[in-house]
Amino acid sequence: MKQHTADIQVKPAKRLECFVAESQELIQEAQRLRYRIFAKEMGAKLKSEAEGLDYDEVDNFCDHLVVFDNVTNKIVGYTRLLTDQQAKQLGRFYSQSEFNLDHVLTLPGRFLEIGRTCVDPDFRGSAVLTTLWSALVEYALKGQFNYLLGCASITPGPSGFAVDAVYRNIDSKNIAPASLQVTPSMPVPAQLRCDRDESGIPPLLKAYLRFGALICGEPCWDEDFNCMDLFVLLPLDQLQQRYSKHYMRDCKVSNEINATSTL
């Protein structure tokens, strides 16, 4: 019997899709989102020559993972992925501009660096961050990477950078052993440090800490972004032991996000 068209049920497209942007048009849209958040919202001093775009030399070597909203037809979430092979072509990981990673990079296995993570302000508190994280984990597992690494940023409170207070709030199990400690190229200046915990730990960083991420030493002061960066290392074997791939796809990561460059 011939089936009537009215009987055929078409599965509606998901509102949010996450994929690696291939076209220059989509990559530039992602760079405009980065500019709105890092330059306009955070007041970062970007070195990009193109007005309205956050762009640097790393962009030509990395993959751009975007969350696309099919209702508004725009990119609403983003993170930048730099594989160890791409870093070799570039000559370094981005994190190496802030930290000496000699000890970390002697670890056996493959590395995937994450950076410039951001979410459109209108979509914070939605499923964007969960969608982005799930696709990121799938990318890492398919690529058979052993470690995620990157710089997790914390903006200052009214009194300055509460370095000691931040570290007091990090569980000892999330502090890397001495063999994996890194050295910042620019420690947070003494005159910018304070004792009061006014900024706290960003929700996204809290999520990574729950997944077993390690904080590898003292932070670096990023003058251009007016933030302190913590170097974070996340062993993927530990992540897989604690969460199945199915759970990672559906887990409820905190849907708030501090609009800073982070893992």
Return contacts of 178-183, CB within 8 angstroms, 24+ apart: 179/103, 180/103, 180/104, 180/107, 180/214, 180/216, 180/233, 181/103, 181/216, 181/217, 182/99, 182/100, 182/101, 182/103, 182/104, 182/216, 182/217, 182/231, 183/99, 183/100, 183/217, 183/218
Q: What is the per-residue pLDDT for 185?
A: 96
| 246: CB partners within 8 A, 6+ apart | none
Cα distance between residue 95 and residue 114, in whole Å? 9
Query: Would residue 152 count as lying in a domain?
Result: yes
- What is the share, in percent, of the chain residues with pLDDT greater than 90? 58
The domain tally of the chain equals 1
Which has the minimum average pLDDT: 29-33, 195-199, 204-208, 225-229? Answer: 195-199
Three-class DSSP category at 62: coil
Q: What is the per-residue pLDDT for 2?
A: 47
Query: Would residue 256 count as lying in a domain?
Result: no
Cα distance between residue 234 and residue 150, in whole Å? 9
Which residue bears the tokens 């870093």? 87
Query: Would residue 181 count as lying in a domain?
Result: yes
The pTM score is: 0.86
Which has the minimum average pLDDT: 132-136, 212-216, 217-221, 256-260? Answer: 256-260
Shortest CA distance to 79 belongs to which of 131, 124, 40? 131
Which residue bears the tokens 């330059």? 39
Name the more confident of 75 and 205. 75
- What is the share, in percent, of the chain residues with pLDDT greater than 70? 84
With 60 as the cut, is the pLDDT of residue 6 above it? no
Query: Would residue 68 count as lying in a domain?
Result: yes
Mean pLDDT confidence for 3-7? 50
Query: Would residue 133 count as lying in a domain?
Result: yes
Going by pLDDT thresholds of 50, 70 and 90, the confidence category of residue 257 is very low
Query: Would residue 258 count as lying in a domain?
Result: no
Q: pLDDT digit string (tens) for 138-167? A: 999 999 999 999 999 888 877 888 888 888
Q: pLDDT digit string (tens) for 7-45? A: 555 556 789 999 999 999 999 999 999 999 999 988 888
Name the more confident of 98 and 51. 98
Query: Would residue 259 count as lying in a domain?
Result: no
Range(s) of the domain holding residue 29: 5-250
Mean pLDDT confidence for 200-223? 87
Q: What is the mean pLDDT of the chain?
A: 85
Q: Are strands 111-119 and 74-83 parallel, antiparallel or unpaired?
A: antiparallel
Name the more confident of 200 and 19. 19
With 90 as the cut, is the pLDDT of residue 263 above it? no
Query: Would residue 31 count as lying in a domain?
Result: yes
What's the CATH number where 191 sits?
Answer: 3.40.630.30
| 99: CB partners within 8 A, 6+ apart | 151, 182, 183, 184, 185, 216, 217, 220, 231
Q: What is the per-residue pLDDT for 259?
A: 47
With 80 as the cut, is the pLDDT of residue 238 above it? no
